[in-house]
Every structure is written in C-alpha cells, then in structure tokens.
C-alpha cells in the first residue's frame, strides 16, 4: 500500500494523509482518526526518505557523550540514562543515535559538526554530561543548533537543561554525616572539569562551612568517577585518618569500600561512607551503601522531551528542569537498614 491508496480509502487528499503521518496540527480530529484507522488496518508504513523530505526532519536524535565522560562509560549511570532517552524516543516515534566525541580540538569538533550535525542527519542533540569550556557547546550555541544539556552550564543560561541540584544534594549528605557526630569528613570527587563534580564538591564545602567546620584540603581527593579511582583515593585518604567520607558517585564509593576493607578499616564502625547515584549495586554491597539517589533514567527521558519541544518551538524560552533527589539511608553511614529516605528537593514531587 502507498500514500495514494491510503488517501483514496480515507476519502481525503494525499497531502492530508501526509499531514496525519507527520503529526501536523492542521488536521481535524475526525479526519485524523479516519486516516489513522486506514493506516492501522492496512499496516501502512510511510517511506522514511519521503517523510523526511516532506517534514524536513529525520526523526533521529543524537545523544553525545563528551570525551571526558567517555572514560567512565562503564559507570552504571550511563546505561540508565541511555535507556531513559531510548524510552522517550520510542514513545515519540524517533530513533536515537549514540555519538562519542573523540576529540576536543577545534578541528575535530568542526569535522563532527560538518559530517553529522551540519549534514542534517539529526534533528537535535542531547549532550549527556557538561564539562567546563567544552567547545562543542559553544559552537552549537553560536550556530543555533537545537540541543539540550543533561547538567547545567555555568554561563549559557539560555541553553535548555535537565539536572538535579548536585550542590544541595551533596550538602545534605554532609549534613547527615555531621548529624551522626562525624567531624573529620573527607571527600572523593569526580573529574575536576565536570560541572556536576564541581557542584558536588561545592556542596561538600558548604555543608562543612555552615556547620562551623573548616574544610581541610588534604581530605579532598579526585577519584575520576571510576571504581579504581575510588579505591586509590581512599588509600590516600586513610593516611589522613578521616572518620567519614562523602563520595561523588556510587562507583567510586564501591572502590572506596574495598580499599577500606583491604586496609582493615571497618565500615561504619571505624569509617562512615556515603555515595551518590543509588546504582543497583549500592543496596547489595556489604555493608549496604548510604547514597544520594537521583532519577537517572528520568534525566534521559526528560532531556529528549525537552529537546523535541525545542525543535518544534525554537523561539520559546529555555526550559531548566531540576529533578528531585533522595538520601537513601543504609548501613554504611551508621544508620539502621530500615532508616527512612529523605527527599532533597527538585522541581517536581519525589519520584
């Protein structure tokens, strides 16, 4: 069956069928239902190339993982984010193309833009993690290419984004440790140029300062968002004798737990640990890991939804959605396993 036959059976013009197929609002509800019934009855599938030419859209969206985040692709954060983005694309009848930015030099960025973005192969782009001074963000912003950030940008407030309040979430984790009576609280951070990592460190510092505790630079170490990095960071911190450690990701926290155990340090009796993300392994490790839970799959779903709105309504003000986080209280901080979770805010009720 082709477009002309659908039009004949529906009693409408070819252009009307095309509008229905492309979700054009200029079709009445009754006509739309009649055409869609014929399409479903005869299992009609529109020609993708013709559909793209008619709408000037490919119905393909990109998900770009910058080079800095590529080093932590094995982190469970990314599969959950990708799954959320795929779910949202499927619901909107779009496809998702994964992109890895293998170069941050201007020539490499220009090649990627010319081959993929400038060639109109994608309708828009989600950038999966924000790093400081990423040239691709500046380039896309200056060329008015439709894109959305997972994570905030410190300068371009007109770029749509979806995120959690990383600073407030990390601060609340530190406050919880302080409420347990810990005072020598260390921090294992992520990549130093990643905005989420910077914000989580900022929350750690603010939490200490507002409690009248002076942050000790010797108690802050980068773990680069890897389990091996968390292990090495904890080995360094143990020489400083902290009584608690706030870790900027669960993956690093798992490494930190292993390092503490290998050094004969009991958790939480000798050292408390709090992570960030609430990956599945956090509940199964011994002792179970207290962590800040963020809705990772929802970040991917909302990023795609916001991007589709940006594509169809490019002149609308930029959306900045902040999703809520939860502090999941388990054994590693000294709480009983049955302790209640604490909501940490966002633009919508806790998920």
pLDDT of residue 343: 62
User: Please, which pLDDT band fits residue 264 given cuts at 50, 70 and 90?
Assistant: very high
Q: Which two tokens stand for residue 68?
A: 């800095």
Please give the average per-residue pLDDT across 117-126, as a whole number. Answer: 81
164 or 130, which is more confident: 164
337 has a pLDDT exceeding 80? no
What distance in Å separates the CA atoms of residue 166 and residue 119, rounded to the nearest whole number?
A: 36
Q: Which residue, 228, 227, 258, 256, is CA-closest to 242?
A: 256
CATH number of 3-55: 1.10.260.40
196 has a pLDDT exceeding 70? yes
The residue to which tokens 């009720």 are assigned: 349
The most confident of the ranges 14-18, 71-75, 96-100, 103-107 is: 96-100
Strands 124-127 and 60-65, sheet pairing: parallel
pLDDT of residue 348: 42
CATH number of 166-293+326-343: 3.40.50.2300
pLDDT of residue 280: 93
Distance of CA 216 to the CA centre of its chain: 30
pLDDT of residue 327: 96
The pTM of the full predicted model, rounded to 2 decimals, is 0.80
> Residues of the chain with pLDDT > 90: what percent?
58
3-state secondary structure of 90: helix
What distance in Å separates the CA atoms of residue 100 and residue 180, rounded to the nearest whole number?
A: 42
User: Please, which pLDDT band fits residue 338 given cuts at 50, 70 and 90?
Assistant: low
pLDDT in tens, 46-77: 655 455 545 567 899 999 887 655 555 677 89
User: Please, which pLDDT band fits residue 121 given cuts at 50, 70 and 90?
Assistant: confident
What distance in Å separates the CA atoms of residue 87 and residue 21, rounded to the nearest whole number?
A: 21
Residue 330 sits at the vertex; the CA angle it makes with 326 and 335, to the nearest 5 degrees, is 110
pLDDT in tens, 224-253: 999 999 999 999 999 999 999 999 999 999
pLDDT in tens, 73-100: 677 898 999 999 999 999 998 999 988 7
Please give the average per-residue pLDDT across 302-330, as a whole number. Answer: 94
CATH topology identical between 60-164+297-323 and 166-293+326-343: yes
pLDDT of residue 199: 96
| CA-CA-CA-CA dihedral for 141, 144, 148, 152, to nearest 10 | 30
DSSP 44-81: ----HHHHHHHHT---EEEEEE-HHHHTTTTSTHHHHH
3-state secondary structure of 105: coil
Query: In Å, how far are 26, 34, 48, 187, 240 from 13, measured between CA atoms?
Result: 13, 13, 20, 65, 77
Per domain, the residue ranges of the chain are 3-55, 60-164+297-323, 166-293+326-343
83 or 101, which is more confident: 83
User: Please, which pLDDT band fits residue 105 given cuts at 50, 70 and 90?
Assistant: low
152 or 102, which is more confident: 152
Q: Which residue, 269, 270, 268, is CA-closest to 289?
A: 268
- List b or e across 109-132, with b for residues whose CB sees 16 or more CB atoms inside 10 angstroms: beebbeebbeeeebbbbbbbbbbb
301 or 58, which is more confident: 301
**Residue 268 preceded by cis peptide, ω within 30:** yes
DSSP state at residue 311: H
Could you give the residue ranges of the DSSP H alpha helices within the chain? 3-10, 14-21, 29-41, 48-55, 67-70, 77-91, 106-112, 135-142, 166-179, 195-210, 227-238, 250-262, 281-284, 296-312
Q: 60-164+297-323: which CATH architecture?
A: 3-Layer(aba) Sandwich (3.40)
């Amino acid at each position: 069956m082709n477009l002309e036959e659908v039009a004949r059976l529906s009693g409408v013009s070819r252009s009307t069928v095309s509008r229905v197929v492309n979700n054009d609002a200029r079709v009445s509800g009754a006509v739309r239902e009649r055409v869609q019934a014929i399409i479903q009855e005869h299992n009609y599938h529109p020609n993708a190339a013709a559909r793209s030419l008619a709408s000037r859209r490919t119905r393909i969206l990109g998900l770009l993982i910058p080079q800095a985040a590529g080093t932590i692709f094995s982190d469970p954060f990314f599969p959950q984010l990708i799954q959320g983005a795929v779910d949202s694309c499927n619901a909107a009848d779009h496809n998702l193309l994964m992109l890895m930015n293998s170069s941050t030099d201007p020539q490499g960025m220009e090649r990627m833009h010319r081959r993929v973005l400038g060639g109109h192969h994608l309708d828009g782009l989600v950038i999966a993690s924000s790093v400081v001074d990423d040239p691709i963000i500046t380039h896309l912003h200056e060329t008015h290419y439709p894109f959305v950030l997972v994570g905030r940008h410190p300068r371009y407030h007109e770029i749509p984004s979806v995120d959690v309040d990383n600073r407030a979430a990390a601060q609340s984790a530190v406050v919880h440790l302080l409420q347990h009576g810990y005072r020598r609280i260390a921090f294992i951070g992520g990549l130093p140029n990643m905005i989420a990592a910077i914000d989580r460190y900022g929350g750690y510092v603010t939490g200490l300062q507002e409690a009248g505790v002076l942050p000790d630079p010797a108690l802050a170490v980068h773990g680069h968002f890897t389990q091996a990095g968390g292990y090495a960071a904890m080995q360094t911190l143990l020489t400083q004798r902290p009584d608690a450690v706030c870790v900027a990701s669960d993956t690093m926290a798992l490494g930190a737990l292993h390092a503490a155990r290998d050094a004969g340090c009991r958790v939480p009796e000798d050292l408390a640990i709090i992570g960030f993300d609430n990956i599945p392994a956090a509940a199964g490790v011994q002792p179970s890991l207290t962590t800040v839970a963020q809705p990772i799959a929802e970040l991917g779903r909302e990023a795609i939804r916001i991007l589709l709105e940006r594509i169809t309504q490019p002149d609308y003000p930029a959306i900045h959605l902040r999703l809520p986080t939860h502090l999941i209280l388990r054994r590693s901080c000294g709480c009983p396993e049955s302790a209640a979770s604490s909501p940490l805010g966002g633009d919508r009720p806790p998920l």
